[in-house]
Amino acid sequence: MKQSEYLNVLKLAKRSLEDYKNWGEDEVYKAALQPSSSQKQSAPVQTSDKSSSAQKLEALKTKTSKCRKCPLGASRLNCVFGVGSATADLMFVGEGPGFDEDHKGEPFIGRAGQLLTKIIEAMGYSRDSVYIANIVKCHPMKDPSDPEKRGNDRPPTPEEMDACRPYLDMQLEIIQPKIIVTLGASSTKGLLKSDESISAIRGTVHEYNGIKLMPTYHPAALLRNPDLKKDVWNDMKKVMNFLKTGKI
């Protein structure tokens, strides 16, 4: 391992150890001490592939920002396309932008988003090295006439998810992640068309468009019920192991 890679691993381990205090699982501590060979940060990346994927994503983002294919397009403040690496192995798909995300145009930046960032870092990644998106790109509101009202979020409808899915499909085609983690019932049901409850389906391996898919709880559910953290961490260990060994 080169010295710079070694320092990077140490930096990640240190950050994960700090996260351990907040995230609070023994496994996080252990994981932090085992640098994963699968991590994109230390893998050689072909610059041309990387930049062309980034360019394609940027072009798709511009197109999506003008979309009015479903009613959410009329009330959104910003289209929340997604963030992260255009060549990420690991992609998270949430439910939809909330108040904070609609205002800033970036996914998962509110309280639930901050917890997601901690989970990602505990896995040995950074927000920049994975990709984070939602199953709908515009803010689903209970009262679409007032985007300035807090507590106005709602889950997307199946029709809204179907209308928006082509954008997610194109993101997947460009990024080609090895595994998708769906966060919560909306994105899990929206992609898998399953009637199973999130508590039954989480932790089990599926496929979407030929890509492995692992459903887990939404970080907002963990804020309401911290006991669920253990389940999410078990699911993420399977994901980490898959990224390391190719087996799940």
Closest separation in Å from C-beta 96 to ligand URA: 6
155-184 positions binding ligand SF4, by CB under 6 A: 160, 163-164, 167
Q: By CB under 6 A, which span of 23-31, 94-102, 119-127, 239-247 interacts with ligand URA? A: 94-102
Amino acid code (one letter) for 35:
P
Q: Are strands 206-208 and 211-216 parallel, antiparallel or unpaired?
A: antiparallel
Partner touching 67 among ligand URA, ligand SF4, none, CB below 5 to 8 Å by kind: ligand SF4
Structure tokens at 140: 């689903």
Partner touching 69 among ligand URA, ligand SF4, none, CB below 5 to 8 Å by kind: ligand SF4
Q: Applying CB under 6 A, what is the total number of residues that bind ligand SF4?
A: 15
Q: Which is nearer to ligand SF4, 39 or 171 (CB)?
A: 171
Structure tokens at 117: 């960032």
Instruction: Tell me how far the alpha carbon of residue 20 is from its chain's centroid.
Output: 20
The whole-angstrom separation of Cα 113 and Cα 110 is 5
- Rounded to 10 degrees, the C-alpha dihedral 123/125/126/130 comes to -110
Task: Work out the angle between the directed axes of helices 185-192 and 158-175 (0-180°, nearest 10).
Answer: 80
The answer to whether residues 190 and 161 touch, using CB atoms and an 8 Å cutoff, is yes
- Candidates 137, 202, 229, 238; binder of ligand SF4 (CB under 6 A) is 137
Q: Applying CB under 6 A, what is the total number of residues that bind ligand URA?
A: 12
How far is CA 164 from each of CA 105, 139, 176, 210, rounded to the nearest angstrom? Answer: 16, 12, 18, 19
Give the per-residue contact string, 62-101, with ligand SF4 (x = CB under 6 A; - = no).
Answer: --x--xxxx-xx-----x----------------------
What are 143's strand-pairing partners?
A: none
Which positions touch ligand URA (CB under 6 A)? 94-98, 101, 107-108, 110, 112-113, 134
Which positions touch ligand SF4 (CB under 6 A)? 64, 67-70, 72-73, 79, 136-138, 160, 163-164, 167
